[in-house]
Amino acid sequence: MAEPGETTVDGQVALVTGASRGIGAAIAVDLARAGYTVVINHRDSAEDARRVAEAGGPTATVIAADVADHAAVRRLTEEVTDRHGRLDVLVNNAGVTLPDDWRTLDPARWQRCLDVNVTGVFHCVQALAPLLEATGRGRIVNIGSTYAGMGVGAIAAYAAAKAGIAALTTAFAKELAPVVTVNLVAPGNIDTDMTRSVGEEFVAATVAQTPLRRLGTPEEIARLVRFVVSEDAAFITGQTLVCDGGHSLR
């Protein structure tokens, strides 16, 4: 029996998109260790996803799907339903960044960034909301970015897409209440391959501009997500929770 203030998650199922590495992998492992049956989604990183599943324990499973593809997300939904019969938590983490000069950014790359980062969130919520509603207390956490509100031309497509996720978060929080809460976790500069891909000069500059003088860790974002999906956060919806070491303070 759970103690007062403690929540048992036995039998609850969580799906984390883009969970083969970085923040998504940390969230998947953290939720699995907290007792959730975790579905690890990836597009084309089967080996990495398998390693995450091994770290998450025997109940973790892997399902491949490109969240930018509407039909693929429908198949993902069918697989989750067939395997588990329910879904309690959806973490929309899948994303790509494009460290490019906006003046020369190829239109196809711009579109891909929007398709994965923001349209993918819409596809997943549209397809999976009925499963979340059926539980009577579903949780959606969208992974955004503090860069959604900061003017950075070098990642203009990424920032625009993340701003779109923020708009979807508030819209879905209203639409799915009172049964499902929908919140956005906005990381700042986190020590992942994606952040490092922008370049070490960028990393050094952002650390220097961060009051806590370091990058965040994927595990710190994972712990925040675990709080947001818990009963302790049951009265929080439509909100943005920033975890950036103070980098966005001005």
| CATH number assigned to the domain comprising residue 235 | 3.40.50.720
The answer to whether residue 60 sits within a structural domain is yes
| Peptide bond between residue 130 and the one before it cis (omega within 30 degrees of 0) | no
Answer whether residue 6 shows pLDDT above 50. no
Answer whether residue 1 shows pLDDT above 50. no
Task: Please say whether the beta carbons of 152 and 159 come within 8 A.
Answer: yes
Tokens, residue 45: 């990183």
Task: Please say whether the beta carbons of 89 and 139 come within 8 A.
Answer: yes
Predicted local confidence at residue 101, as pLDDT: 80
Tens digit of each residue's pLDDT (9 = 90 or more) over 108-145: 999 999 999 999 999 999 999 999 999 999 999 999 99
147 carries an active-site annotation: no
Tens digit of each residue's pLDDT (9 = 90 or more) over 16-42: 999 999 999 999 999 999 999 999 999
Catalytic-labelled residue, pool 158, 162, 187, 245: 158
Q: How many domains does the chain divide into?
A: 1
Report field, pTM of the whole predicted structure over 0.85: yes
Find tokens 């929770």 and name the residue. 241
Predicted local confidence at residue 91, as pLDDT: 98
Domain limits for position 102: 13-243
The answer to whether residue 224 sits within a structural domain is yes
The answer to whether residue 227 sits within a structural domain is yes
The answer to whether residue 207 sits within a structural domain is yes
The answer to whether residue 249 sits within a structural domain is no
The answer to whether residue 220 sits within a structural domain is yes
The answer to whether residue 7 sits within a structural domain is no
